[in-house]
Amino acid sequence: MSHHDEPIISIQGVSKKYKQRWALQDIDLTLHTGEILGFIGPNGAGKTTLIKLMAGLIRPHTGTIVVLGTHIEQNTDHIPDNIGLVQEQIGFIPYLSGTKNLQMLGKLRGVVTLEDIRRTLTTVGLDPQDRRPVSAYSLGMRQRLGLAQALMERPRILLLDEPTNGLDPGGIVDLRRLLVTLSQQGIAIFLASHLLTEVERICHRVLLVQQGRIVQVITPTERALLTIAVSDDTDVDLLHRWAKQYDVTIESSGRNNDYPVVHVNTDIPTPELVRTLVHSGINVEEISRCQTSLEDSFLDIVGQEVRS
């Protein structure tokens, strides 16, 4: 997945106000082809507002929103083509089957064949032959139908607002696999969810948002810090040389239980890492991976909110 291409969505300086309250303030973000971008924040952090803005359903008070090269911030006549949208409240006609519902929606846009609909239903784990009305569907089935509706036109961008709602653990795993596959096919995915572990597993970047502002952008791989404990200070000097040679970032160093320790940031697999350290004549006492989870970062932010 290349992030060097032009962003598929580019948002600059976007703010949105409801009455006297700012739902979003000074939002800058980009979404690239094949990227899964996560959005995490307490309720009221502005995720639904941001999704509606990207879908062209509402206008910002300030800032620009460019989707696939087109400025959409002033044009809210329709959802731009090439965007699939899954919102928390999905409206389907209760007395029609899933297939019939999608046919109705497909007719409105005039671009979807019955074959497309059947293929998409199968992709999301629903039976195209199921004739039961949507009113008989479980919450999880409705959620899958919402995803099918978003995917049936083969969009280039998928905007998902809490897509795991109502899914059982098996359904969540299915969704995760599906999103990773779609991303590999080049679809750009914006995922707003409160399931931190899921977001952490599949997102390339995660926005932590609080009171309508992006307070942190996290790249999950960035957080894989490695702690290397060595025998003595001469080993620390060797370690610094080793880090330069192998292009490894040293984040900090200190002492732990009498041993000097160095925290490094690298994605070199551990066995290879050990080989290169020993090869450089470094006496390694212990190596451990310390990963600060998304949950820790999130709780830091929410904690500040509670304390302030």
- pLDDT for res 223: 53
- pLDDT for res 158: 96
State whether 174 and 63 are in the same domain.
yes
Q: How far apart are CA 42 and CA 76, in angstroms?
A: 27
State whether 184 and 248 are in the same domain.
no
Q: How far apart are CA 267 and CA 172, in angstroms?
A: 28
Residue 280: CB atoms within 10 A of its CB come to 15
Q: What is the span of the domain harbouring residue 106?
A: 9-221
Question: Which pairing describes strands 36-40 and 205-210: parallel, antiparallel, or unpaired?
Answer: parallel
- pLDDT for res 187: 94
CA-nearest of 43, 45, 69, 66 to 56 is: 66
Q: Which two tokens stand for residue 34?
A: 């094949």
State whether 76 and 86 are in the same domain.
yes
What is the total count of domains within the chain?
Answer: 2
Instruction: Name, in order, each residue with C-beta under 8 angstroms of 136's C-beta and a sequence gap of 6 or more.
Output: none
Determine, yes or no, domain membership for 232.
Answer: yes
Determine, yes or no, domain membership for 134.
Answer: yes
Q: Specify the residue for token string 């795993």.
A: 173
End residue of a domain, out of 221, 241, 264 = 221
Residue 133: CB atoms within 10 A of its CB come to 16
Determine, yes or no, domain membership for 139.
Answer: yes
pLDDT per residue over 270-295, tens digit each?
778 888 888 899 898 888 776 666 77
> Could you say which residues of the chain have pLDDT below 50?
1-4, 306-308
- pLDDT for res 290: 64
Q: Lay out the sheet containing 21-31: strands in order across.
A: 21-31, 9-18, 62-67, 70-71
State whether 270 and 124 are in the same domain.
no
- pLDDT for res 121: 95
State whether 116 and 60 are in the same domain.
yes
Q: How far apart are CA 306 and CA 308, in angstroms?
A: 6
pLDDT per residue over 218-275, tens digit each?
877 555 577 888 888 888 899 889 888 887 877 777 777 778 888 787 777 777 888 8
CB 271 within 8 A of CB 261: no
- pLDDT for res 159: 95
End residue of a domain, out of 198, 221, 244 = 221
End residue of a domain, out of 171, 187, 221 = 221
State whether 130 and 19 are in the same domain.
yes
- pLDDT for res 308: 42
- pLDDT for res 78: 62
State whether 216 and 234 are in the same domain.
no
Question: Which pairing describes strands 205-210 and 213-218: parallel, antiparallel, or unpaired?
Answer: antiparallel
Question: pTM for the whole thing?
Answer: 0.75
Burial class for 204, CB neighbours closer than 10 Å (0-12, 13-18, 19+) = middle
Helix (H, G, I), strand (E, B) or coil at 170: helix
Determine, yes or no, domain membership for 1.
Answer: no
Q: How far apart are CA 92 and CA 127, in angstroms?
A: 17
Q: CATH number of the domain at 277, please.
A: 3.30.70.260
DSSP 223: G
State whether 184 and 272 are in the same domain.
no
b/e per residue 235-260 (b: at least 16 CB within 10 A): bbebbeebbeeeebebeebeeeeebb
Count of residues in the chain: 308
